Structure 1
Amino acid sequence: MRIRFDLFPGGKSKALTLSYDDGREFDRSMVRILNDFDIRGTFHLNSGLLGKPGYLDRSEVKELFSGHEVSAHTVSHPFLSLSPKERIADEILQDRRELEHLAEYPVKGLSYPHGAWNKEVVALLPALGVEYARTTNNHGGFDMPDDFLLWSPTCHHRDMLEFGQKFIDDRPRHPRMSLLYVWGHSYEFNNNQNWEQLERFGELIGRHPDIWYATNIEIVLYMKALRQLRFAVSGEWVHNPSAMSVWLSLEGQAVEIMPGEMKKLVV
Structure 2
Amino acid sequence: MAAVPVSPSPLADPSLLVAALRAAGCVFAEDEARLILATARTADEATAMAERRASGLPLEHVLGWAEFHGLRITVEPGVFVPRRRTEFLVDQALARAPHARVVVDLCCGSGALGAALAVALDGAEVHAADIDPAAVRCARRNLAPHLGRAHTGDLYAALPAELRGRVAILTANVPYVPSAEVPLLPAEARDHEPATALDGGPDGLDVLRRVAAGAAEWLAPGGCLLSETSARQASAAQEVFARAGLAAHVAVSHEWDAHVVIGVR
Structure with greater contact order relative to length (CA < 8 Å, sep ≥ 6): 1
TM-score, normalization: structure 1? 0.27
Which structure: greater helix fraction? 2
Query: Please, what TM-score do these two structures have when normalized by structure 2?
Result: 0.27
